[in-house]
A and B are shown apart, each in its own frame.
Chain A
Amino acid sequence: MLWLTLFFLVPMGFLGYQSLQSGLFPHFHFTWEWSNYSHVLRSNHDGGYRDQYLRSFLYAGIATLACLVLAYPLAYWIAFRAGPWRNLFLLFIIAPFFVTYLVRTLAWLNILADQGPVVRILRDIHVLGPNGRLLATTFAVIAGITYNFFPFMALPLYVSLEQIDPRLLEAAGDLYGSSTQAFLRVTVPLSAPGIVAGTLLTFIPAAGDFINAALLGTPNQAMIGNVIQSRFLESLDYPTAASLSFILMATILIILLVYAWIVGTEKLTG
C-alpha cells in the first residue's frame, strides 16, 4: 500500500507540479504556469497538439469498436460451442501476449510490407492502386492497435458470456422468442459487464499507445503518446510533456467516471 502511494500518487503529484513549471532544460522553475495547458491544447498551426489528441481518441475509439465486433463472435463461440476445446482456444487468444509487444508489432511490418503478399493481392484485385501501400497509413496504425489490444477485449467478453446459464436462452426460446430476439434481449444484456470491461481495457491503453503509430505509421499518424515520448525523452521539454500527460490522464479519468456513473463502481473495480 505504502509502495503504491509512494510510487503512484507521489509521482502523479510531481507530474502535476512539473506541468506548471516554466523555463528551458535544465533550469525549470515552478511558476504556476497554467499557460502550459492552454498552450498544448492549441491547434497545430499554433504550436499546440490538438490534432494528436483528437487523433488518439479517434484511433482508440475505432480500434475499440473493431475489437468488439471482431471479438464478440469469437468469445461467444468459445463460451457456447467450443466444448472441451475451450481452454485451448483461450490459450490461442492470449498467445500474442507471449511474443514481445514490439516484436509482434514488427511482424506486421513483414505482413503489410510493400513486397508482401497482402499488398500484392490487394493490388491485383484493384483495392489498392498499383503504387498503393498499407504501411505508413492510418489503416496500418489502427489495425496494429486493434491486433495488439484484441485479447483485452476478448477475455472479459468470454468471462461474462461463459457465466450465462444456457437455460435462460432455452427459456427465451420456450417463450417464443426467436434466436435473434434471444440474442439481443438475453445474451447481450447479460454480457454487458464484459462489454464494459473490455471496451475500457482496450480503449485506455490504446489512447496512450505510441508504438503502433511509431512503427507502422508516419508523423501524420502521430498520436499523443508519440508527442509525450518525444517531448520528454528527445526534447527534454518536461513541463510541456508533463502537462500533455496530465491532460491525457484527466480525459481518461473523465471518460471512466462517466462510465462508472452509468454502470456503477462495483462492477468496475470488481
Chain B
Amino acid sequence: MTTVAETLAVPPRPSVASRVWRFVKRHALTAYAFLAVGYLLLPIAVVIMFSFNHPPGRFNYVWHKFTFENWIHWNSVLGIQSAIEKSLEVALLATFVATALGTMIALALVRHQFRGRAATNLVVFLPLSTPEIVLGSSLLALFLNDQNTIQLGFVTIFIAHVMFIISFIVVTVKARLIGFDRHLEEAAMDLGANEWTTFQKVTLPLLAPAILAAGLLGFALSIDDFVITFFNAGQVQTFPIFVWTISKNAVPPQVNVVASAIFLVAIILGLANVVWQYRAAKSTRGAGA
C-alpha cells in the first residue's frame, strides 16, 4: 500500500512564493507558541520575583529592593504557617479517601453491568460540570439546615474536598481501565490465582500509574481549592483562605514565598517526569533500531 503511494505521489514542486509563505507560516506559529507560553508563565515569574521584593510600605505592588528576608522569615506573618499545615492535612486526608473510593467507583463502572449504571455515570459527571460556587453553596445549605448540629470546620472541609475530587479521580482511573487488557487477569486465573490475588498482583500494579496520577491531581486540586472551602470552612483557615483574607488589606511578600515554594516543588516533579519520559521514549526507540 505505502510503496504504491510513494511511487505514485511525485509531489509537485512548490513555487518560490509559496515556499516563502510556508516558511513564514511555519515560523510564525512557532513564534506564537513561544509568546503564548510566555503569557502563561509571566504571572508566575512575577509571583517569584515579588517574593524577593522588599516593599517600601505595606503594599507589595511595585518593585523596590532585592532581599532574601522574606524567604528566611517566611513564617513571620501571623497565621501563615498554621494555614499551610491545615491545607496539607486536608489535602492528604481527602486525597487518600477520595482515591480509594474513586478507584472502586471506576472499577464498578467499567467492569460491572448494574442497574443504575447510567445514572451513576451521570452523578459522577455532574460535579465536574457544576460551577464550584454552586457545589460550595449547596454543601453549606446542607450543613446549615441540620439545626447547627454540624460545626463548620475541618470535617466539613474534608467532606467537601472528597466530594469534588472524587469525580476527577473516577474519570482518570476509568480512562486507564477502558484500555485495560483483561487477558492478563484471565492468564493469572488460569495459573491458579484466586480473584483477590489476581487483583492484588495483576490489576492493582497495572492500574498504579493511573491511581498515582489521579491521587496527585486530587492533591493539587484540594490544596488549591478556594471557592468550595470558603463556603464550608467556618473559622478554619487553609492557605487559599488565608490569602483571600489578607488580600483585603495588603498581601505580604511571604505569601509569594509560599506560593513560589509550592510552585517550585511541583515544577521540579513535573520536569523530572518530562525528563524521565523523554529518556524512556529514547531508549525504546534505541532498542527498536
Taking Cβ atoms with an 8 Å cutoff, the residues of A that contact B are 1, 3-5, 7-12, 14-15, 17-18, 70-71, 73-74, 76-78, 81-82, 84, 87-89, 91-104, 106-111, 113, 115-116, 147, 150-151, 174, 179, 200, 204-205, 207-211, 215, 225, 228-229, 232-233, 238, 241-242, 245-246, 248-249, 252-253, 256, 268-270
Contacts and interface: CB of A to CB of B under 8 A. Distances in A.
Contacts of B266: 98
A208 B130 CA distance: 9
Contacts of A108: 43
Interface string B100-143: 01000100100000000000111111110111111101111110
B43 A232 contact: no
Contacts, number: 229
Contacts of B50: 107, 110
Contacts of B220: 97-98
Contact of B30 (A81, A102, A209): A81
B247 A102 contact: yes
A233 B134 contact: no
Nearest to A93: B40
Interface residues of B, number: 83
B208 interface: no
20 contacts: A1-B123, A3-B162, A4-B123, A4-B166, A7-B139, A8-B127, A12-B138, A18-B141, A73-B36, A74-B33, A77-B33, A93-B40, A95-B263, A95-B267, A99-B43, A103-B47, A107-B46, A115-B62, A232-B137, A248-B134
Contacts of B42: 111
Given A3-B162, A91-B270, A270 B134 contact: no
A95 B259 contact: no
A84 B240 contact: no
Given A103-B255, A232-B231, A11 B37 contact: no
A225 B163 contact: no
Contacts of B256: 103
Interface stretch (B72-80, B179-187, B271-279): B271-279
B251 interface: yes
Nearest to A115: B62
Q: DSSP majority for the A interface?
A: helix
A17 B220 CA distance: 33
Interface of B: 9, 22, 26, 29-30, 32-33, 36-37, 39-44, 46-47, 50, 60-62, 101, 105, 108, 120-127, 129-135, 137-142, 144-145, 159-160, 162-163, 166-167, 171, 174-175, 220, 224, 226-227, 230-231, 239-240, 243-244, 247, 251, 255-256, 259-260, 262-263, 266-267, 270-271, 273-274, 277-278, 281
Contacts of B259: 99-100, 103-104
Nearest to A18: B141
A95 B41 contact: yes
Contacts of A73: 29, 32-33, 36
B274 A91 contact: yes
